[in-house]
Structure 1
Amino acid sequence: MTCEQKPVVGWIGLGAMGSGMAASLVSQGYKVKAYDVYPPSLKRVAEQGAISSSSPRDAAKGVQVLCLMVVNAQQVEETLFGKDVGIAEILENGASIIVFSTVPPSFLVKVAERLDKLGKNIGLVDSPVSGGSTRAAQGQLAIMSSGTPSSIATARSVLESLTLPPQGGLTLVGERVGIASDFKMINQVFCATVGHRAPWSIRPDPTPKSAMTIINKDIAIVMGEARRDHFPAPLSAAAEQLYTAALAVGLEKEEDGLVSKFWEKLGGEPIAEQGTEEEELEKARELVVKPGKKVRKVLLAAQNADSRIYSLKEVLKKAGMEVVEQGKDADAVIVSDRSAAAVEEVLANILSAGLSEGTPVILTSNVLPSSRLLQLAAEIKPLQLIDAPTAGGYKEAKGGSLTVFASGETDALSASHSVLSALSTQGGNATNLHFIGGGAGSATKVKAVNSLLEAIHLTVTGEGFAFAKHKKMDIERVFKVLSGGAARSFIMSDRFPRIISGASQDEPENTVSALWNDLSITLAEAKQHKCPFFLTQAAMQQLERLYSSGYANADDSSIIKLWEETGVKI
């Protein structure tokens, strides 16, 4: 498209995002008439080639496309219809207004109705953006848009110019306003709770990304819509309280990826890395353990022989190991029980089982806090306790593909290497086995973090897709759009197909009771360290509801059942 063919663009709102977007259009040959209430912002964009406008009405005169990147719905309404500003009445017939601001979907529906009453065929394009100020200046944002075909046609060149490759992308999600904001709202349910922020927290860099105030505003929109519809959204509610608390302790100027600083304000240790990248990578390396002599005979010690024990027997047999009944015949022991009391009793009797000195005792159950495991490691000497909690479901257990976190004395880890490998890498994935330094208890700490993330991601997946269904959205399309961006998580991708199809309850892949148990240990660890968990407690309450509703032994994708009482059927 030549400069002569490009529409004249009016731009109102030159904050961190808006200024970059407007400047990007100028660099691509657009005539941009810009305005902002803050003169320095307007001056900076004018220096990059935009036309400085004296008022919103001045910026709107003679344009085919008017872009709004203001703070909130109130500013959108004031700009378009305000008594002193109201620019809708002076726009050309057939012009299109693009609202890039994240605002409530229901608000935009009302704006479209008011524009229609003017009788000027003014189109409205609902276009919330994602990507941060750096990508805005590069014209590489992710934008979801909805509106009538004629409105989109008028605005399309501008939208495409702001969503350039390699990072940008334009997704048209519907033919009426509000749909794109619905998509953005569901996206923010995930981003506010499970967004890709860990790298920012661990190694902050000076590149502007996404402000704490913005995500706080976005999750407030989610909760506003949820309250309007009387829709329960406990994880989003917890996220809103967390970000509000973060702002209250002075973090309003921070990136949202640095919300971890909130816990520092409570006396927690900073998680940001202090050393060079090479030094931190070296510290993060897993323990290197050389395989010892292959274990031939394994004793399975458990009070309750359930499906897990039968799976263990089959997996060990497949790995060429014999399951024995007497301790005197065993080269290694696996302790696997569902309760702390049962594990304690088994370990209390382990010294009288006739085991040879130094025999590794592999505890795969995640039922005891790390501090107790340290004590037990000393109590069962001269046997060697291996702390080896697992992650994965029925299918992974049956196929020898569990994720195993193992910690203990290095020589004991070496001696038990073949058993741990049989449980984790027999299915062909060598990365399933993780050796954690620090002795017994360290693996349980890693598992605690894993369980925390798994529970939050699971419950948010249920909440997000239930809300989308409540909004009468095509949830398979929602999944397709969201799974390609920052909202994506492994849990979303893994559980969504089960949510849609209905997981087998005869052979559940991951049970509610197992996750409930794991999260109980995580919360016990947190309480011991006086560490408050907002989203984790909300996730636990959802699991409690599911458990008490008769789904304890069901696949955890049944989390979606919690919204059936609100009329949501998936």
Structure 2
Amino acid sequence: MTEAVGVIGLGAMGRGMAGSLRRAGYGVHVFDVRPEAVQAFVAEGGTACASPAEMAQRCEVIVSVLVNAAQTEEVLFGPSGAAAGMKPGSLFVMCSTVDPNWSVALEARLAERGLLYLDAPISGGAAKAASGQMTMMTAGRAEAYAKAGGMLDAMAAKVYKLGDRAGNGSKVKIINQLLAGVHIAAAAEAMALGLREGVDANALYEVITNSAGNSWMFENRMAHVLAGDYTPLSAVDIFVKDLGLVLDTARASKFPLPLASTAHQMFMQASSAGHGREDDSAVIKVFPGITLPGAK
């Protein structure tokens, strides 16, 4: 029989991860609050579940790819949650960006039910998720890794094992998000200055992407700005949340993060101006006195 695995959340990353598992030969069961997302995957050979509880009856490994801790709580412990129906020894793989302390506590809560847990945030974007080339930052007990088998490698090109208990996966992810958020904010600031000074935006992009000032985020996100396309692959509000988690973690140990704090305020400003659901490159819209490419 084909080994069954469940994927909850068919957004930009989860959809690609489910596809990678299916290509690797797993029987992939899916759930999402959007029926159209589920049906699109079913058309490619997946199996629909009406709820996380139904998935728990069918799969001993469930991969959760949701926005935040609140959504994860709901799919585990809500009225139709998976936790109550998961068989002892089953594994829950949590891929969201969350407070590391929350992840530690979740491992303990699931252990009380006889369930295994992997703290396994992800990075790389939708394209790398779709091709199985993303990165996973994982931490958990040896039994959890054993239960996962080859599933992690089916979803990711790089699977980092960062500890034998939950927590370090989420800590490394929020440090990654500190850099990602600061780099996007800095890229937007640089492009905005170029526009303000009358530099040709396409020429600026060409020069920077071939010079020492380049970053992956500049190259990727400023291409969205040049196209005038703010369709959200990762939204402004994601960085409001993630940089907030970064600052909360540092505040607990009274550790200063001046650049992260400034970037967080920029994303907050963009969100407050109505751009929260746009692509995170829309943080450039906080700068005054510039005309963006594609603006009407």
Give the TM-score category using the shorter length.
Answer: 0.7 to 0.9
Q: Matched residues in 1 for 2:29 and 2:291: separation?
A: 48
The answer to whether the Cα contact below 8 Å between 1:133 and 1:208 also exists between their aligned partners in 2 is no
- CA deviation string 1:142-194 (max 9, x = no partner): 1111101110121141110011xxxx311111111011001111111111112
C-alpha contact (below 8 Å) 2:12/2:233 kept by paired residues: no
The answer to whether 1:110 aligns with 2:105 is yes
1:259 and 2:283 are equivalent in the alignment: yes
* Greater Cα radius of gyration, structure 1 or 2: 1
Contact 1:203–1:273 under 8 Å retained in 2: no
Structure 1 residue identity aligned to 2:217: R
Does residue 52 (structure 1) correspond to residue 55 (structure 2)? The answer is no
Q: Aligned pair 1:96/2:91, yes or no?
A: yes
CA separation in 1, counterparts of 2:245 and 2:19? 28
Separation (CA, whole Å) in 2 of partners of 1:85 and 1:228: 34
Which one-letter code corresponds to 1:180 in the other structure? Answer: G
Q: Which amino acid aligns with 1:20?
A: G
1:34 is matched by which residue type in structure 2?
A: V
Matched letter for residue 257 of structure 2: A
User: How far off is 1:198 after superposition?
Assistant: 1.8
Please show how residues 66-145 of structure 1 align to structure 2 within 5 Å: 66-82=62-78, 84-118=79-113, 120=114, 122-145=115-138
The change in CA–CA distance for 1:93 and 1:189 in structure 2 (over 3 A counts) is: same
Closer/same/farther in 2, CA of residues 96 and 241 from structure 1, 3 Å limit: same
Counterpart mapping for 1:352-371 below 5 A: none
Which of 132, 141, 152 is the equivalent residue of 2:145?
152
Using the alignment, how far apart are the partners of 2:222 and 2:54 within structure 1? Answer: 46
On the 8 A contact 1:213/1:247 being kept in 2, the answer is yes
Partner amino acid, structure 2, of 1:151: A
1:65 equivalenced with 2:61 (yes/no): yes
Contact 1:192 1:219 (C-alpha < 8 Å) held by counterparts = yes
- Using structure 2 for the length normalisation, give the TM-score: 0.80
Q: Which residue of 2 aligns with 1:398?
A: none
Distance verdict in 2 for CA 1:230–1:202, change over 3 Å: closer
Q: Which amino acid aligns with 2:262?
A: A
CA contact (8 A) 2:53 2:84 kept: no
1:301 matched residue in structure 2: none
Tell me the equivalent position of 1:7. Answer: 3
Q: Cα 1:19–1:245, aligned 2, differ >3 Å: closer, same or farther?
A: same
Instruction: State yes or no: 1:210 paired with 2:234.
Output: yes
Greater mean deviation of Cα atoms: 229-238 or 218-227: 229-238
Cα distance in 2 between the residues matched to 1:251 and 1:132: 20
Task: Provide the identity percentage.
Answer: 34
Equivalent residue letter for 2:120:
S
Equivalent residue number for residue 203 of structure 2: none
Residue 218 of structure 1 deviates from its aligned partner by 1.3
Map of 1:219 onto structure 2: 243
The 3 A distance-change label for structure 1 pair 174 and 114 is same
Structure 2 letter corresponding to 1:129: I
Query: Residues 145 and 172 of structure 1 are in contact (CA less than 8 Å); yes or no, is this contact kept in structure 2?
Result: yes
> Which whole-Å deviations, capped at 9, do the CAs of 1:444-487 have from their partners, x for residues lacking one?
xxxxxxxxxxxxxxxxxxxxxxxxxxxxxxxxxxxxxxxxxxxx
User: 2:139, 2:164 within 8 Å by CA — same for their partners in 1?
Assistant: yes
The residue aligned with 2:172 is 183
* Paired residues of 1:128 and 1:145 also in contact (CA < 8 A): yes
Cα distance change on mapping 1:145 and 1:211 into 2, 3 Å: same
Cα deviation code 1:399-421 (max 9, x no counterpart): xxxxxxxxxxxxxxxxxxxxxxx
Amino acid at match of 2:248: G
Q: Say which is worse superposed, 43-52 or 190-199, in terms of deviation.
A: 190-199
Q: Give the alignment partner of residue 232 of structure 1, picking from 248, 252, 256.
A: 256
Q: Given residue 180 of structure 2, which amino acid in structure 1 is its aligned partner? A: C
The code of the aligned residue for 1:64 comes to E
Deviation at 1:77, TM superposition (A): 1.6
What amino acid maps onto 1:179 in structure 2? Answer: N
Out of 211-220 and 99-108, give the one that drifted further.
211-220
Secondary structure in 2 matching 1:15 = coil
Q: Which residue of 1 aligns with 2:290?
A: 268
SS in 1 for 2:159: strand
- Matched residues in 2 for 1:202 and 1:218: separation? 20
SS at match of 2:281: helix
> Structure 2: how far apart are the matches of 1:201 and 1:139?
21
Read off the aligned partner of 1:53 and give its amino acid letter: C
* SS of equivalent residue, structure 1 residue 10: strand
> CA–CA distance in 1 between the matches of 2:285 and 2:149?
41
Matched residue type, 1:223: L
Task: Tell whether the 8 Å contact from 2:52 to 2:76 is kept in structure 1 after alignment.
Answer: no
**C-alpha contact 2:64 2:95 (8 A) present in aligned 1:** yes
For residues 232 and 152 of structure 2, what CA distance do their matches in structure 1 show? 22
Q: Name the amino acid aligned to 1:106.
A: N
Structure 1 gaps of 5+ residues are: 275-570
Q: Aligned partners of 2:232 and 2:130: how far apart in 1?
A: 11
Cα separation, 2, equivalents of 1:212 and 1:149? 36
Q: 2:289 is matched by which residue type in structure 1?
A: G
More contact order relative to length (CA 8 Å, sep ≥ 6): 2
Query: Do the aligned partners of residues 179 and 170 (structure 1) sit closer, same or farther apart at CA in structure 2, a change above 3 Å counting?
Result: same
Task: Give the distance between the partners of 2:220 and 2:117, measured in 1 at CA.
Answer: 36
Kept in 1: contact 2:237–2:271 (CA 8 A): yes
- TM superposition shift of 1:209: 4.6
Shift of 1:69: 0.9
Report the counterpart of residue 217 of structure 2 in structure 1. Answer: 197
Q: Which amino acid aligns with 1:199?
A: E
What SS does structure 2 have at the residue aligned with 1:260?
helix
Look up the equivalent residue of 1:23 and give its one-letter code. G
